[in-house]
Amino acid sequence: MFSVELIPDAATDAAVRAEWGRLIEAGLPSAGRHEGESNRPHVTLAVREALDPAALAPISALLPVPLELGGTLVFGREGRFVLARAVVMTRKLLDLHRAVAFAAGAAGPRYGNTMPDRWSPHVTLARRLDADGLAHALSVLELRAVDGAAVGLRVWDAGNKRVTTLR
């Protein structure tokens, strides 16, 4: 599996890491608990079973684009929830997403939610929360709008645990 990820500027990265830290301090699941070198705040643009990173390199010329973090999003299934910060849609962000989706090719059914008109841009804060944990997480976060920019583009190759930085 390959994911194409948009990387925020340093100030936006720091704001998200601070939110991860508040969750950790509260004893909750947090994306900040993953200590791998590749773990960092990002917005997933596309997920595919196969992908040639070189096909995406020209798209990095579209960066930077404004990146505004808004309120929370909750994705859930079977009593488990993912808590995320919503990314506010802009024309530049949509254009970038469409360019990536086109270059990455068709998504299989499992990854259709990253295709144009089905994509919910977000930055993940925590996974595997139960309902009580979700309520607790929402009570400890001090969510403020974050106005920044997406300045980087990378491809994560999960099979080989390798990052290809495109910008």
Mean pLDDT by 10 residues, the chain (167 residues): 95 97 97 86 93 90 96 91 96 95 85 84 96 96 93 91 85
Q: Using alpha carbons only, how large is the chain's radius of gyration in Å?
A: 15
* Integer Cα distance of 95 and 15 in angstroms: 25
Phi, psi dihedral angles at 70 (to 5 degrees)? -105, -135
pTM for this predicted structure: 0.92
